[in-house]
Chain A
């Protein structure tokens, strides 16, 4: 085994650690990693210091990588250790205590230092910056002892610090040398609205004011200003900006300007074995101070250093959001707009809303928003995409989402939602709860949101919405979509699991979990997924594990809110007859069914059936299961078609019944709904189904990936065919392709968007050989579906009450009086 290369990193902050994470993900075995951090804490989320100060979260909660994480990844961590020298000739670094560490590659991620204005008295006790955990502690401490605080600097950090101190009960005055607050991020109108808003919250301001002296004996007692006025205070925060921490690099002969100068691959221009990332690095003349660009840099660094080839970092366009509760401010790009600029503005003084957009050639150059920033991320995205907004310009600032065609998806949908809108219906989680937890806990992935709020943790139907909220709240640059483990039981994602099941020929759920080193015995998310995948790959061999199914699929009935079940038999193509209805009615009477409902899928549901009655109800009905409970073929909805309808072009009913009979009992990654309409009036709503056909003169149009649920999506036209037989062929190939490439619990609409319509067309339509192979695999699968699950249960049932496999339908009665404590 060859010797690992030695990687040393100076600095232990967010940008550097993100780079380390990128490296570990790209190649976990390439380096022996040693990290030196000057602070005594492991990597924490510096952005969240403001919420810590405001009391919204605690220091423990903002630790990103605890010490165990470093140990688990084999990283040597030296906390509270400063590096005093880099000897590039010997490729080693020397710490203050004299210890030397050799490196093959070095990353300098020393971040930045707060700038302290060198006015007389700036070194007095009680004068400090707001930069790290120690500062935060000192401010919390001061707030307990003192009353009056001053903050020099009316920028992002200064206002957040001031808000925190205000929250701690201090009397706070913000001193700003410019007339406009946050003048780097806001224009004068928005800055003024912000000032008024914050004054209402109790913050005081002295703008256009230069501080000339800090007064007091040992501790600060006041400030003197250029205009001769004074202010009493016993705590002074300087938040006037940061300076890249380049001293060490400069001393070791690395070329520095404002920061350590790096190329597009994050290597220092002086020494290609040394990289720099984060606030200390200067890239194309810019040293960034916001986190999103730093994460982009970290990605580039990880890519380069692990030898995956050239992928250049081209700089970032940044947007700003103020993290002060109750104040919504957003800006991005060049929003000032010089003379002659194309500017669109919206002003609502009473409502406290101001939006301004600067355009150039019908494209967004910059935007600033106050009061209503919901569309900020959308505009930011459009700005980066160079989207032509000429058609919408007159209405654009009212709302990005209220415009255009209804089919477009994306961030707009969640932005348009009110705070109280329930996003996760299963767990009753509102938009506000999710946004709050993202902001307060500093979350960056859906998994974390699910852990904290349960949203998207049950049916998963809202996962897309949660992702959008994440993007909308943090800005698009934050969203990490690369690797999402299936659940907490494994580190694998769906694709990795599928590959393993296929390559290792795994046919049983427990075997799969053993072989793939599952943590524990699996959960309601991964076990049903494994159970589906083994059956998909190995239709004739896999052993279906009933106890790895969720309740509905295990019981072959839908559980209702009171613990009873619904029974929905098949009505092929929605066509029934008198005998069927009479029998259904008789059974409903016999079991005193509370609710008989025509379902959305053109069939009839019996609701409120007790668990112990299920088997008898099925026996008396003597009808095939409708699979209304499963990730299976639900219904094929049809209109009456050419048999009766005076507009009918094609016989949709006959085709619908035929399709439902062919695909009856088949399982998919998620529930699958089909429809057949006899003419373009489309009464069967075929364009919002997983697959729908619409009759036209001389044939059928086949639409795919439609959905009428949480997120409405009109289906895309896959192809046109002439005959019913061709519809059957394409449908078989398409559904099999979905079965093979879909992730468990992924409907066709997001699946199609993920895979791409063109790619699906190529496999299913354009390639006759590929289609034939898909159809063969589908036919093989369909041939294994020989029995009806309800009838299976009946066969198992023994009239004598003997033990049977499915006896969990029947409760065991024991005549015991239990007094409940």
Chain B
């Protein structure tokens, strides 16, 4: 499984949950039939979604600490941009990001 590419521009929007079901500055794990996506609620209310697996040692990003646009992996504190999916220096790598939006309090992911 490779995760080079960032934000999907194709695919359909799928409802996931209500905004309130994601803790502020926290994350939730969303399971599709094949894989896990980590969905985060940032301090300004934006929702961001990435593959729930750190490129380092596959740590579950959904359990990390949200800081601004960055998620800090719970395993070894790799910092990953939730906008680009890029791992921040001094480490490198990237995770796949997914488009997310909120409509009428409902969180939607484009998959």
- Give residues in A with beta carbon < 8 Å to B: 426-427, 451-454, 457-458, 520-524, 527, 546-548, 550-551, 554-555, 559, 561, 563, 611, 803, 805, 807-808, 811-821
Contact = CB atoms under 8 A, between A and B. Distances in A.
B84 interface: no
Contact of B32 (A427, A554, A814): A814
Nearest to B91: A454
Contact of B33 (A521, A808, A811, A818): A818
Contact of A818 (B24, B74, B111): B111
A551 B63 contact: yes
Contacts of B25: 521, 547
Given A427-B76, A563-B60, A803-B18, A811 B29 contact: yes
B64 A551 contact: yes
A811 B76 contact: no
A821 B43 CA distance: 30
B16 interface: yes
Given A559-B75, A814-B109, A819-B34, 5 more contacts: A520-B68, A547-B23, A559-B60, A563-B59, A808-B62
Contact of A527 (B23, B65, B76): B65
A548 B23 CA distance: 12
Closest A-B pairs by Cβ, 5 of them: A551-B74, A811-B29, A547-B25, A521-B67, A563-B60
A820 B96 contact: yes
B90 A818 contact: no
Nearest to A526: B67
Contact of B14 (A452, A548, A559, A814): A814
Given A458-B76, A521-B43, A818 B68 contact: no
B30 A812 contact: yes
Contacts of B33: 815-818
A426, A520, A527, A816 — most chain B CB neighbours (10 Å): A816
A808 B20 CA distance: 11
B24 A808 contact: no
Contacts of A561: 57, 75
B65 A524 contact: yes
Contacts of A805: 23
A820 B35 contact: yes
Given A547-B65, A811-B28, A803 B74 contact: no
A816 B65 contact: no
A559 B90 CA distance: 24
A803 B18 CA distance: 9
29 contacts: A426-B76, A454-B90, A521-B25, A521-B68, A523-B65, A523-B79, A527-B67, A547-B24, A548-B65, A551-B74, A561-B57, A563-B58, A563-B59, A803-B21, A805-B23, A811-B28, A811-B31, A811-B36, A812-B21, A812-B28, A812-B31, A813-B31, A814-B14, A818-B32, A818-B34, A820-B2, A820-B3, A821-B2, A821-B8
Contacts of B90: 451-454
A569 to B, nearest CB: 21
A811 B67 contact: no
B72 A547 contact: no
Nearest to A545: B25
A527 B65 CA distance: 9
A808 B26 contact: yes
A563 B43 CA distance: 25
Name the residue among A521, A813, A819 with the largest chain B CB count within 10 angstroms. A521
B102 interface: no
A812 B17 contact: yes
Interface residues of B, number: 49
A808 B23 contact: yes
Contact of B74 (A522, A546, A559, A820): A559
B34 A820 contact: yes
Nearest to B107: A812
Contacts of B26: 546-547, 808
Contact of A611 (B8, B29, B67): B29
A527 B70 CA distance: 14
Interface in B40-66: 43, 57-60, 62-66
Contacts of A554: 63
A554 B72 CA distance: 14
A804 to B, nearest CB: 9
Nearest to B41: A547
A102 B2 CA distance: 64
A550 B57 contact: no
Nearest to A548: B65
Contact of A803 (B20, B68, B75): B20
B89 to A, nearest CB: 8
B77 A524 contact: yes
Contacts of B76: 426-427, 454, 458
Nearest to B39: A812
B67, B96, B111 interface centre (most CB from chain A within 10 Å): B67
A458 B77 CA distance: 6
A271 to B, nearest CB: 48
A523 B72 contact: yes
A814 B35 contact: no
A816 B32 contact: yes
Nearest to B43: A521
Contacts of A524: 64-65, 67, 72, 77
A807 B28 contact: yes
Contacts of B62: 808
B94 to A, nearest CB: 13
B85 to A, nearest CB: 12
Given A426-B76, A803-B18, A814 B31 contact: yes
Contacts of A426: 76
A807 to B, nearest CB: 6
Contacts of A814: 14-16, 30-32, 109
A543 to B, nearest CB: 13
A449 B2 CA distance: 31
Nearest to B3: A820
Nearest to A523: B67
A523 B88 CA distance: 13
Contacts of B35: 818, 820
A817 B68 contact: no
A817 B65 contact: no
